[in-house]
Structure 1
């Protein structure tokens, strides 16, 4: 806080006792003593009137300077608090964080127009160059030498500059700075706020209304520069004339001097130095009263006092007891009671408003300000504790999701191996002649269940983001139509699902698995928004995006897009919820009903596909998600039946070495290849395979190996085989996905790869393709 405050250890000013003991009975007695001294013979009063009036004038001037100092301190505290909150709020805005100059300048200009106190607001890069400014700045302006800029960068916190006359605005003011941090907490820029001081003049000049004409208020910084002059604004920015007045102020801090002012007029000056708690420079306030006006005022006051002494003394004597009780004893009792409540922990306790006595009224207001500050501090502490708890929950959720992703990948590997054995053996059994119809039905059901399990594994991998994206032109209408039965089941019995597909849609370039996940997540989200049932509409249409639309939707791109809309008649969302729906872990559902990742995954997939999302919703008015996908320049390949027959894939006695550590999978591959015309050898590890190759020589035509083996991996085995026989092809297969499958390396080296689970036809097709590729390679090398 930058406010000018006096320390409790500072000595009392003239006319202000350092400590007052408020006792009801002593206050009344003191009032009677005042009466006695007030009725001292008029002659004595008049004899010493000049001296007393001069002393009173000095005390009044000192007290006036003190009140003005308090006024300035209060305004500065509010000013700095507001500046801190404004800069902190601005630093969290997305356009400020990403340094969007146009958006920032528009925002800063609006703020300058809304508050006359602001001279300028701007965003400065770490090298001191101005990124954005609410006011036009000359080219080449660099703020790296500003004190507030250096302090904000060095401390990475809120910084306060010096009192100064702005080089650009020409007005007195003070600058503030606050760092802008990125998501990782690193300082990327500095926000500055230039606050004008001259707007305070019209408030502070009101203090002079009780002083004689010609009285002045002057503010000077520690360097002697005039910041404010109430009667002559042309003096602002100029140095204060050297002399006894400025020298006394710099040396003593506060006091009273009879001296000429910067305009040459002789005045009685009371001065006070306002010590800053957050800067090295100080502010000196001078209150000057013309000597001629002061003397004339004294003469009039002496005559009035002489005439009124008797009347006032009588009236005060009669009312001393009543006034003492009403104005002091009762209000002080209320303040004491409020203090006791606050000490007992009742932060809602407030002192009654005391309008009858200004000093006690200020004291009561101070009590209430203190209580409000304590209550805010307690509220902030509770809010911080709640935020800490929320972050801890998010961390736990993130760790759970990471562990789930790793677990999903491991499960997929084992599950895929099981599916190879189940599906493969079922297919082998179905190929046997003379099966009973009931047995054939059972085997076909087993095979279908294995297919469903394979799709489930794919969904798990999509969920854990461990599935490789395979972009291709996709007919969105056909995809949704194929999913219609599944979507109807997902929607549930109490939700009416409608699918409206526009004719003639161009294809989109997408990964079908992820595209399906987007539709499923949106339908599930819509279902959860309608716990009592409702209507759900899935709609497609085409839309050409123009530049005007892009100006109002920053994420949009011009051109033709396919729009997928999912609308529900559910509970809807307010604006605050809509701003956060794509945040990880954010969910309006109960803790056991949602992870807060569903829409986050949708957002990520859509962004990966070069699209964007538009959401419209209102409380109790339903929600519509509109997703825009760029159209594909390529056409969709029509599904074609595989004309390759089993006979075309049969072997002709080629010798194949199968290297697989999973016994069930190894036995299936051996049997599947054996019954289809191949001579098969098997090994459970890379070392065994190398030994067989060494012993067989050139008799092995193809190696089919798993990527992950007990004594190495498939890629290492490929290297060992190449050392022995560079012409021996290798077909790799794996139930892992992602990094564990080494897919990037395999693809870069051009090695044939077969993803588990696979059918007999897929296995035979991959084997035949690897053998045929070897034959083509040999023929090309032949002379």
Structure 2
């Protein structure tokens, strides 16, 4: 080919434009062209008229030489250029060569991609006399590249959308791909994690065992993880350990092994299973206690009836006193049976549409007398009527029971807050609590500042006969009776408490649309959640809750900056001046509480808004010296979060 170029660059003359198309070429060039006849070589003039057409061209394009010579090459092959043809001709005149990719049409109508090199012979005055076009078919290569690009795009779309975390690593455990789901789960961006060993995502002892497992598998083929689903633990970027289900597949490509792991976060599922087991346990205990109470009532009925018949026959005053004592004990036993029936959800109820706020306000004075002077009562009742189909007397007993428990947890005094509000439990909330039905509820929240409960005590709080009070100070049926009443009324109850930080009990009663009992579930469409575009600093030490809240806030249009403690939050506030709101938990590790963080943040940036959240402290804590503060009680639904964030951001805006 270099010889051909040399000849074209030398003194061989093409009398282009002075002979008819197809006329014989210079003998020396024609001889050399015959040597290159197997190649796809086209010789044409500047205007594209074909002077020579090799057999290689005939095989590739399908046109015989007799049909091709004399035709314009771009017309014959329907050429599609990457740039204008005039620009290519100008480049040839300036540099004597051009290279690029062309799209041609063969005789059978198929399109071909060719890599084309054009070289020219120029006259003394710089005019181009002839062009040698050497083409190389790259159609199969481009088709393969297109298929690979499509597959890569498909894989990228999978990595971006698969709900579970997907991680690809090589046989040394080095991560080569990290999906969007993996980023959301572990907290690493792909740039941070790709190239690092997968062991960074494992806590001990899994981290220590991984290399041994892999070496043994590569040496012996004995698979302990590959191809099997397995329950293990993983660790996030911020060091939080959580349960996962791991499945690993293996493939070989280009002589290399790759391992694809799918990781599913089991935190929510385990919580649901725990809630379901608790509900099943309570149902089983309820069935047992209900049966016992029924039989016990039959026995008590006989005892009381016989004592009533016996008493008039007794003449001795001492004997009559003994009979009265026995009757009193039997009456106490009857009350105990009634409490057991309440827990078993078999007590007789008289439900009717009740304005819960007005009803609770009606016995506020009784609550104050029950609490005593050392405990301050704060009652928050809405002005509008919030109706629930409920037995008013039993609701009063339930609130009184909670108040008595709160009083006993505050022997040195404190504060009890009772708040009535309206909420909507959404599908996200219902997924966490299998027995909950979505919809509108009237919420009765009873929050104290007492000693709180340990995790072990909290798990058993609703069990009948479980009590932390001294012997003789209680039956252990107060909370279990409240639990049974709420469940029998079609509602939901949740208790949030931490040792040393008080207790909050939330009673959800099904909302009644009118003064008549509901005939069925409401079909009204929920209002659209309010959205925004501001930047929110989310401060929460529980990584799973932080991930859920971050996704919720981002779905509402907000930009989210995350921190897991007060010090990190302050650093983010300095680095990100666009932060408009700090959404912080009250109790966090690291020595700085949410209140201390808020005070420091407002001192540094007075315009920043503060939104507190917690599950145990009373709502008044959010007003301790921070006019920009607001309060959102755990747990909260998506619409509660959206409304409260928007409300706080609008303050003073």
**Given the two structures, how large is their TM-score scaled by the length of structure 2?**
0.30
**Given the two structures, how large is their TM-score scaled by the length of structure 1?**
0.26
Q: Structure with the greater relative contact order (CA < 8 A, sep ≥ 6): 1 or 2?
A: 1
Which of the pair is proportionally richer in strand? 2
